[in-house]
Amino acid sequence: MSNDPFAALPTALRDTASSAITAVLGAAAIVNVRPVKGGVSGAVVLLIETSGRHFVLRIEGPAGPLRNPHQYESMRIATEAGIAPRIHYLNAEDRVVMMDFIEDRPLETYPGGRQGLAQAIGAMLKKLQALPRFPCFMNYPDLVDRLWTHVCKTALFSHGLLDAASQRLISIRKAYALDTGKYVSSHNDFLPRNLLFDGKRLWLIDWENGYRNDPLVDLATTLDNFAPSPELEEVLLHAWLGQTPDRLLRDRLVLVRSLTRLFYAGVLLSASASAAHATPDPDLSAPTSAEFERAIRAGRLKAGTTETTHVLGKMFLASFLSGAVPPGLPPMYMR
């Protein structure tokens, strides 16, 4: 290997990374190691280059109280089905995986435009949910509830400001019909940042949330992120189901979409709460997607900052409360 290829890594992770690379390429391999910016998970992601070959080395971040212990088994099943990139090394104990690097192209270049992409995503989702079932982890409403309860306890907002959202969650949970017998293999984080297009086909990456779940959870997320019009929703729904959904499914989907929106509000606001705040925020008002994009372009909001994360969290919360379609996550939350 080249001199100190892990200079950017914390000391505690250097042996883990070195062991994975040696297992795949051998001790004598000369490699170039470059960090890759990840999302909000805290994972260390490295691009490994050697003799014209490229790999991704991913070391999971610190384990939190809601860590999914089945992610690597779920990833393995998805890889064997050709949905996730090929795995070359996997050590669940060290929480490290080395896989093929996918040189991705913008999703906007997918053949057929947005309609073609929506149809392909619906078909991918159908294939994913037909796989041998991933292990069980936690019922999704319970997961959302625990995450939201954490946000409410952080004093991120003024006292009582989140009560309406908490009450709405209670109402949704009462109306939500839990049927674990119909749970299927699910990615549970089906966002644009986790979908790669290599110029020929799509790949799904980052399986930290992969476990058995209500099939409508992934459907809700894909609709919110890849089907921004009623026409595209119907394209994706038909590719997934093979027929027009009935009223019962559509009614359940409304409930599940509310839960997924509150989940992402909880993820973003939890990240915001982990930073120091002088005083609780007394205001839940949030910009529209267009206003947010203008603020980013004008530099009033900076990519990757706590302030921007906080604003996005409020936007997803507003979507949960109103039923309006939430914003897509902007570039700083992409790979």
**CATH number of the domain located at residue range(s) 107-333 in this protein:** 3.90.1200.10
Separation between Cα atoms, residue 167 and residue 320, nearest integer Å: 12
The CATH class of the 11-100 domain is alpha beta
Separation between Cα atoms, residue 76 and residue 93, nearest integer Å: 15
User: Per-domain residue ranges for the chain?
Assistant: 11-100, 107-333
N- to C-terminal Cα separation, the chain: 26
pLDDT tens per residue, range 288-309: 988 998 998 999 998 888 999 9
- Tell me the pTM: 0.91
Residue 328's pLDDT band (cuts 50, 70, 90): low
- Give the three-state DSSP class for 303: coil
pLDDT tens per residue, range 212-261: 999 999 999 999 999 999 999 999 999 999 999 999 999 999 999 999 99
**Helix and strand numbers, DSSP H then E, in the chain:** 10, 9
Strand partners, 36: 45
Average pLDDT over residues 121-139: 97
* 3-state per-residue secondary structure call for 165-185: HHHHHHHHHHHCCCCHHHCEE
Instruction: Assess contact for 172 and 258: CB atoms under 8 A.
Output: yes
Residue 21's pLDDT band (cuts 50, 70, 90): very high
Average pLDDT over residues 43-71: 88
On average, the pLDDT of the chain sits at 91
